[in-house]
């Protein structure tokens, strides 16, 4: 990967690693933003020069102040602007004159307040572009870089962060302040924080690219409410996530819940769908809740990915061990079977009442030494890949001592992540800090939290293990497809007929139930004989899109007699509707009887193709077992999409019904993805249902392709 | 409700409100259980007399010691026994001689270690019964009663609890110790703790009954791994839960968890289904995780039930407000629509950039006064029934001041629960404690936690609102049912034929698709004409239980011709199987076509009747949308059971299919429940599927009743 940063990223880096900062609107008035920022810069020990700028003061917090940035007459890397919105533009002009190219606008009163503010913001953007300056904000909390050679805290959050390697980018400035307070409680340090504000210039993707190559950042936490640039978002996230974990909270999830109830594919995908699909296909971890994001961050910060995925639980209290076991099962985390040798060893030194099993209950009376020896013994078992240590403080024990031992054992078993669940005295964190300055064992109060972290470790491991781009190309009869699409483009009709849609599916190697077009009853009869009864009659019309509503689909025709009757009845219905002349053909299709119905398709969300898969038929809206992933799909993405819902279970062996071939189902999704990538005129594709027969064979029986 | 306690409960009360305690095995050796207990008794300021008992010491921790309880020669309410298991029995004999009737056996080494320990435990039980003594334990942590006139801490948890009104009963002693540490962190005080141990005499139900009438307890928290007495459990929990909330963690929710529990307590934990069904039908709240139990306890401890169930969210930071809204939607908690008057008032005093909506974003620059006034204004809106206050500490604000104001406003709006989500500085709890000694606002770091608490408030309100016993009695043709059952009992056949099962259903007013028995083809023809084609043929045999496996069910017969063919084919198949003589009749049933299939039934779990309901057909195992509730079902239980899974959504209007009548579906469950209550010879009933037609009509089409 090239370490040559784009000019844009280079400029952003200059801001974050500033050697000098001007604070426009610096103030001696306590409680003001202009005062808080100067205080933070000083308290945090900024390694560069601080230049307060304010007409009113000779000095601000004992630092010589300037009336204007122009008066500074020294190199200034960045100007932090904290003055009323209407004065910001002229301040930027002065920065330009003073040769300052990086600005952070703290001030609010821009896009977020409506038309008036938007105008101000647009003027600022123009000016920034004209002078080739770089801007963070406006309407933000500021930035922090805790690298010891920088110590740059240019924000007005009340607390200074503890240094570390987390990169935090947030669209909610106030949230950054909250997170700075919480990180020390989870023993995770902050490397850099960028409050994105209105993202008038620098946006979240620039920040991710900045951190991609910054060795001071090992993990990226993001809070966003919208995704700025879908294509770039997926590309950058997918790339950077391979190098350092990206954890994202994208709020506004609830729209997916409400909109998922809508009946058709197009409306099924709510506002959040695209974001979710992009995050999912980029392989980044999407957290729902802040608490869970912090848990994951704590575990990622301290644990290597496990080689073996089986978990051992060691506890000195039975009840919490049982609860942890329940939780493991809920997270689909498998418990390791301890080897006989391990059990023998454990029996030799543990109290006789100990439960030599997994969970291993060393019981409350186990001494510190016994506990630690049990941990070592269990970790040395090759059946064990990960360890959860549960410890309750009872009588004369030594909780901090156990953590000390775990720190040591951690280095002995580097590829075996250890998480601790400690229910001990209130002053434990304080006592622990006295003994271990930098504790690297993730410690939680509850097993469910630790289990969340472990499950994310496994999730990350799986997404990294798979080569995401190793995706088979589906062989296509391109000419035939182009022919059909050209015809439709010429005719101006947007909805491709059922027959042509099914043909395109065939050209894309999607399995369709046997079908042929009939134009006369004689045709239909011959086809039915050929493919075998029972058959389905299905109209393919240029005008009718909802076939069933006009009685255009007749199922379960079991013999020639019935075929004749139904054929006649069908044409009578069409005649009454005056639809005979719009009829392309009548499809005679092999009847597929199955209760296993799935939905697959492509929806267009804000110009992006999003693949969907889930439980189909009438259960679609009721069960809401549908998931989304952005196109183009890799083989990994497609498989992951299938596995995301209970539809996956329906593909397995069910009540004597044979399992479906997962690769074949995956390939349908890959075909759909390839189809929309190769034919940009396609807007939407909907297959509902895809049937899986009792023999496990997969058939699409209907298709709807809509052009842009 | 009678305040007259049973002798058993009266004796338990005597132990918990002891005025004198002997500690057998009291010790001066630091770190021993016998020393810890004496220390706790002293530290906690026991109001009664302490009598250490140990041959070896003249005094223990400066309290005069006795060689034996017999030597005390004073009234002793309870003896705490902490000596090796083999000496416990003789200690009990001595207690009896010394006229001590209450004992707490801390010592382990009984049932939980296997056969040898079980023998010791059985001997103890015999002795206790013989002398009419009352026993807590063995193998327990001890007990606590923090009532100020008692101050009885007779356990060896290292920390003393903060006093309050929580009653905690736990089967895991070590867990009690962990919980004592955690309660102060959530600002909830402990009233009494009883470590149940092996429950050789006093069990969890006795404890619940004790607390039912104890005004010092306002909420009951329970950790159990098995349920001691199903019938009594349901009855006591349902009764006491109406008066004070009972929160239960029953571990062993998963099959591996059940195994872990079995090896922990030595008792067979049994299927979790029964436990779940009992808890559910008793209306108690079952928590999955400790964290969530503590959240609920904190909210229940401080909030009244809301009258109006709509939530308002007030925040000074946009991002957290959006996240809270997502979470509300996830918990199905409806946001209130602020009235126009409220909005007008808010606009008058909030900053112009404030988002006057719900969530109400007062923005970071809102002053303390503005924030509080906003809370008051929103609470005064009659559209608002509950309030979540989100507060991030930014610059010069006053977090503890906001809590002070909330404490006041809480008293002004007594029926509007307030929960706070505060992301503030690390020292906030310490600062808060200095200002408010007894904070009664539940405060969380994350909105999701607060939302869990709110959702439990609503759950409790709903379960209390409904008169649980107001359940219609289904009218039954009892004689007809008894006739059938008598015949089967005489014959010794366990499985009732399909025809007779369907008839019993009819006698119990369960809607069955039209059916009649045919003995000849002529019969079948007449019946089919009468009920109308298409019809189904279904054998009713004395020997064949799996009808479809022998081709005993033929569906979709559309005319006389087909009926004749299928009738003949059916009899040919039966002839080949030599099953003609076992045939009772052939059922001719109206064909019901529907994709909405449900399952209902009664399963027998450890002798208890448990009702089930969920998504049926082949989706049963795949979707696992099935829930359980213990019989007898009340109308509330039955409705609740239907609402527990996504089956509930399938009963609503789906894709133009009409909704089913919920009361009718509920009545099917009530019929089944009544059927097993009235006919104890029935072991299991299974209806799969119950069909709901596109018109919303409900039909059972098959039935299986098995006798004990």
Note the pLDDT tens digit of each residue in A59-77.
999 999 999 999 999 999 9
What is the rounded average pLDDT of the residues A113-134? Answer: 94
**pLDDT at position B388 over 70:** yes
State the best of B82, B113, B174 to mutate against chain A, taking most chain A CBs within 10 Å: B174
CB A23 within 8 A of CB A100: no
- DSSP per-residue letters across B495-535: EEPHHHHHHHHHHTT--B-SEEEESSHHHHHHHHHHH-SSE
Of all residues in chain A, what percent carry a pLDDT higher than 70? Answer: 96
Measured in whole angstroms, the distance separating CA B209 from the mean position of its chain's CA atoms is 17
**pLDDT at position B426 over 90:** no
Binary contact (B178, A353; C-beta < 8 A): no
Distance from CA of A353 to the nearest CA of B (A): 6
What is the rounded average pLDDT of the residues B635-644? Answer: 92
Measured in whole angstroms, the distance separating CA A52 from the mean position of its chain's CA atoms is 41
**pLDDT at position B37 over 90:** yes
Q: Is B576 exposed, middle or buried (0-12, 13-18, 19+ CB in 10 A)?
A: exposed
**pLDDT at position B268 over 50:** no
B-chain residue closest to A445, CA distance: B291
CB B245 within 8 A of CB B460: yes
Distance from CA of A646 to the nearest CA of B (A): 6
Q: Name the pLDDT band for B457 (thresholds 50, 70, 90).
A: very high
Phi first, then psi: give them for residue B259, nearest 5 degrees: -65, -45
Chain B partners within 8 Å of A252 (Cβ): 322, 326
State the best of A118, A286, A326 to mutate against chain B, taking most chain B CBs within 10 Å: A326
Binary contact (B289, A618; C-beta < 8 A): no
Distance from CA of B294 to the nearest CA of A (A): 11
Distance CA A57, CA A64 (A): 9
Binary contact (A329, B255; C-beta < 8 A): yes
Cα A197 to Cα A169, B73, B582, distances in angstroms:
10, 78, 80
Q: Name the pLDDT band for B396 (thresholds 50, 70, 90).
A: low
Q: Name the pLDDT band for A335 (thresholds 50, 70, 90).
A: very high
B-chain residue closest to A319, CA distance: B172
Cα A271 to Cα A225, A259, A274, A277, A535, distances in angstroms:
11, 8, 7, 11, 40
What is the rounded average pLDDT of the residues B603-621? Answer: 86
Q: Name the pLDDT band for A269 (thresholds 50, 70, 90).
A: very low
Binary contact (B172, A319; C-beta < 8 A): yes
What is the rounded average pLDDT of the residues A516-543? Answer: 95
Residues 6+ apart with CB under 8 A from B510: B668, B671, B672, B700
Binary contact (B619, A618; C-beta < 8 A): no
Distance from CA of B317 to the nearest CA of A (A): 6
What DSSP designation does B160 have?
P
Distance CA A509, CA A335 (A): 41
Q: Name the pLDDT band for B593 (thresholds 50, 70, 90).
A: confident
The partner residue sitting opposite A425, judged by closest CB among B181, B317, B618, is B181
Q: How many C-beta atoms surround the C-beta of residue A424 within 10 A?
A: 26
ipTM given for this complex: 0.91
Binary contact (A395, B156; C-beta < 8 A): yes
The partner residue sitting opposite B252, judged by closest CB among A31, A157, A322, is A322
Binary contact (A170, B329; C-beta < 8 A): no
Chain B partners within 8 Å of A290 (Cβ): 323, 446
> Is-cis flag, bond preceding B528, omega within 30?
no
The partner residue sitting opposite A353, judged by closest CB among B112, B317, B426, is B112
Binary contact (B395, A325; C-beta < 8 A): no
Q: Is B114 exposed, middle or buried (0-12, 13-18, 19+ CB in 10 A)?
A: exposed
What DSSP designation does B429 have?
H
Among A262-266, A357-361, A499-503, where is mean pLDDT lowest? A262-266
B-chain residue closest to A358, CA distance: B260
What DSSP designation does B66 have?
B
Binary contact (B260, A556; C-beta < 8 A): no
Of these ranges, A321-325, A397-401, B320-324, the one predicted with the greatest mean pLDDT is A321-325
CB B192 within 8 A of CB B144: yes
Chain B partners within 8 Å of A316 (Cβ): 174
Instruction: Give per-residue pLDDT as tens, A405-424.
Output: 999 999 999 999 999 999 98
Chain B partners within 8 Å of A197 (Cβ): none
What is the rounded average pLDDT of the residues A142-169? Answer: 96
B-chain residue closest to A254, CA distance: B326
Dmax (CA) for chain A in angstroms is 102
- Among A455, A311, A448, A326, which Cα is nearest to B255's? A326
* Residue A679: strand, helix, or coil: coil
Distance CA B650, CA B235 (A): 32
CB A457 within 8 A of CB A306: yes
Distance CA B200, CA A612 (A): 57
The partner residue sitting opposite B353, judged by closest CB among A108, A251, A253, is A108
Binary contact (B159, A361; C-beta < 8 A): no
CB A256 within 8 A of CB A268: no
State the best of B32, B264, B358, B422 to mutate against chain A, taking most chain A CBs within 10 Å: B264
A-chain residue closest to B37, CA distance: A395
Distance CA B297, CA B244 (A): 11
pLDDT of B657 reads: 86
Phi first, then psi: give them for residue B234, nearest 5 degrees: -65, -45
**pLDDT at position A259 over 60:** no
Instruction: Give per-residue pLDDT as tens, B111-142.
Output: 988 899 999 999 999 999 999 999 999 999 99
- DSSP per-residue letters across B536-584: EEEEEESS-S-TGGGT-EEEEE-SHHHHHHHHHHHHHHHHHTT-TTTEE
Of these ranges, B290-299, B618-627, B699-708, the one predicted with the greatest mean pLDDT is B290-299
**pLDDT at position A258 over 50:** no
Chain B partners within 8 Å of A177 (Cβ): 392-394, 423
The partner residue sitting opposite B319, judged by closest CB among A156, A251, A357, is A251
What is this structure's pTM?
A: 0.92
What DSSP designation does A684 have?
E
CB A172 within 8 A of CB B355: no
**pLDDT at position A256 over 60:** no
pLDDT of A264 reads: 26
- Could you give all domains of chain B from N- to C-terminal order, each with its CATH number? 7-299 (3.40.50.261), 304-465 (3.40.50.261), 478-590 (3.30.1490.20), 596-707 (3.30.470.20)
Binary contact (A655, B621; C-beta < 8 A): yes
Chain B partners within 8 Å of A618 (Cβ): 595-596, 654-655, 657
State the average pLDDT for chain A.
92
**pLDDT at position B689 over 60:** yes
pLDDT of B263 reads: 62
Among A1-5, B10-14, B216-220, B272-276, where is mean pLDDT lowest? A1-5
Binary contact (B394, A621; C-beta < 8 A): no
Instruction: Give per-residue pLDDT as tens, A589-639.
Output: 999 988 889 999 999 988 899 999 999 877 777 888 999 999 999 998 999
Distance from CA of B93 to the nearest CA of A (A): 26
**pLDDT at position A340 over 90:** yes
- DSSP per-residue letters across A225-266: SS-S-HHHHHHHHHHHHHHS-EEEEE---HHHHHHTTSSSHH
Distance from CA of A426 to the nearest CA of B (A): 6
Q: How many C-beta atoms surround the C-beta of residue B107 within 10 A?
A: 24
Q: Which long-range contacts (CB under 8 A, 24 or more apart) does A427-433 make?
A: A428/A393, A428/A399, A428/A400, A429/A185, A431/A399, A431/A400, A432/A399, A432/A400, A432/A403
Distance from CA of B241 to the nearest CA of A (A): 24
pLDDT of A3 reads: 52
If phi > 0 it is left, if psi is from -120 to 50 it is alpha, else beta; for residue A283 that is left
What is the rounded average pLDDT of the residues B192-203? Answer: 97
Cα B373 to Cα B216, B341, B368, distances in angstroms:
36, 14, 9
CB B543 within 8 A of CB B598: no
Q: Name the pLDDT band for A439 (thresholds 50, 70, 90).
A: very high
Of all residues in chain A, what percent carry a pLDDT higher than 90? Answer: 77
- DSSP per-residue letters across A580-629: STTEEEEEEEE----SEEEEEEEEEETTEEEEEEEE-TTHHHHH--EEEE
CB A314 within 8 A of CB A360: yes
State the average pLDDT for chain B.
92
- Among B16, B463, B347, which Cα is nearest to B211's? B16
**Residue A365 or B502, more confident:** B502
The partner residue sitting opposite B392, judged by closest CB among A178, A328, A445, is A178
CB A670 within 8 A of CB A321: no
H or E segment at A170? strand A163-170
Binary contact (A394, B185; C-beta < 8 A): no
pLDDT of A271 reads: 64
Distance from CA of B568 to the nearest CA of A (A): 19
**Residue A138 or A227, more confident:** A138
Measured in whole angstroms, the distance separating CA B523 from the mean position of its chain's CA atoms is 52
């Amino acid at each position: 990967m090239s370490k040559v940063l784009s000019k844009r990223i280079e400029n952003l880096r200059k801001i974050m690693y500033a050697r000098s900062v001007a604070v426009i609107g610096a103030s001696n008035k306590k409680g003001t933003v202009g005062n808080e920022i100067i205080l933070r810069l000083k308290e945090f020990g900024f390694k560069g020069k601080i230049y307060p700028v304010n007409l009113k003061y000779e000095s601000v917090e004992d630092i010589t102040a300037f009336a204007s940035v122009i008066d500074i007459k020294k190199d200034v890397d960045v100007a932090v602007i904290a003055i009323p919105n209407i004065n910001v533009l002229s301040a930027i002009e002065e920065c330009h004159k003073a040769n300052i190219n990086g600005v952070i606008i703290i001030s609010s009163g821009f896009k977020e307040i409506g038309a008036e503010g938007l105008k101000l913001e647009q003027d600022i953007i123009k000016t920034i572009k004209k002078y080739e300056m770089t801007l963070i904000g406006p309407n933000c909390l500021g930035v922090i870089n805790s690298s010891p050679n920088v110590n740059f805290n240019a924000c007005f959050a009340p607390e200074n962060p503890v240094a570390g390697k987390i990169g935090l980018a947030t669209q909610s400035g106030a949230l950054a302040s909250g997170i700075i307070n919480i990180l020390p409680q989870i023993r995770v340090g902050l490397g850099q924080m960028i409050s994105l504000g209105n993202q008038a210039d620098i946006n979240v993707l620039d920040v991710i690219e900045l951190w991609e190559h910054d060795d001071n950042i090992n993990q990226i936490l993001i809070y966003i409410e919208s995704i700025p640039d879908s294509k770039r978002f997926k590309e950058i996230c997918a790339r950077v996530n391979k190098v350092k974990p990206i954890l994202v909270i994208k709020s506004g999830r609830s729209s997916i819940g409400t909109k998922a109830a809508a009946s058709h594919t197009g409306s099924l995908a709510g506002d959040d769908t695209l974001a979710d699909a992009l995050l999912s296909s980029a392989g980044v971890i999407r957290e729902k809740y802040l608490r869970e994001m912090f848990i994951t961050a704590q575990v990622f910060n301290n644990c290597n990915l496990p080689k073996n995925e089986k978990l051992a639980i060691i506890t000195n209290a039975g009840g919490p061990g049982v609860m942890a076991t329940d939780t493991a099962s809920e997270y689909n985390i498998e418990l390791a079977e301890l080897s006989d040798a391990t059990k023998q060893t454990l029996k030799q030194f543990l109290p006789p009442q100990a439960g030599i099993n997994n969970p291993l209950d060393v019981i409350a009376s186990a001494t510190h030494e016994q506990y630690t020896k049990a941990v070592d013994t269990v970790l040395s078992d090759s059946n064990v890949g990960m360890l959860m240590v549960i410890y309750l403080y009872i009588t004369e024990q030594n909780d901090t001592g156990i953590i000390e031992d775990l720190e040591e054992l951690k280095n002995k078993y580097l590829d075996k992540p250890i998480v601790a669940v400690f229910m001990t005295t209130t002053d434990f964190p304080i006592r622990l800090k006295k003994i271990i300055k930098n504790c690297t064992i993730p410690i939680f109060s509850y097993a469910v939290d630790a289990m969340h972290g472990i499950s994310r470790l496994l999730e990350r491991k799986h997404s990294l293990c798979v080569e995401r781009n190793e995706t088979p190309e589906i062989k296509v009869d391109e000419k035939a497809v182009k022919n059909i699409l050209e015809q439709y483009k010429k005719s101006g009709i947007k909805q491709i007929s059922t027959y042509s849609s099914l043909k395109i599916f065939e050209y894309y190697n999607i399995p369709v139930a046997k079908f042929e077009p009939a134009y006369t009853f004689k045709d239909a009869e011959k086809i039915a004989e050929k493919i075998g009864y029972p058959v389905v009659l299905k109209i393919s019309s240029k005008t009718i899109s909802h076939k069933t509503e006009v009685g255009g689909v007749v199922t379960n025709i079991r013999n020639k007699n019935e075929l004749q009757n139904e054929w006649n009845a069908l044409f009578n219905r069409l005649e009454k509707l005056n639809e005979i002349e719009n009829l392309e053909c009548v499809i005679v299709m092999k009847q597929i009887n199955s209760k296993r119905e799935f939905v697959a398709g492509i929806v267009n969300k804000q110009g992006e193709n999003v693949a969907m898969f889930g439980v189909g038929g009438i259960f679609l809206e009721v069960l809401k077992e549908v998931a989304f992933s952005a196109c183009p799909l890799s083989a990994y993405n497609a498989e992951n999409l299938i596995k995301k819902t209970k539809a996956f279970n329906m593909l397995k062996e069910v009540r004597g019904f044979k399992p479906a071939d997962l690769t074949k189902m995956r390939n349908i999704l890959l075909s759909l993805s390839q189809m929309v990538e190769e034919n940009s005129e396609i807007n939407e594709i909907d297959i509902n249902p895809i049937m899986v027969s009792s023999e496990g064979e997969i058939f699409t029986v209907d298709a709807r392709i809509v052009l842009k």
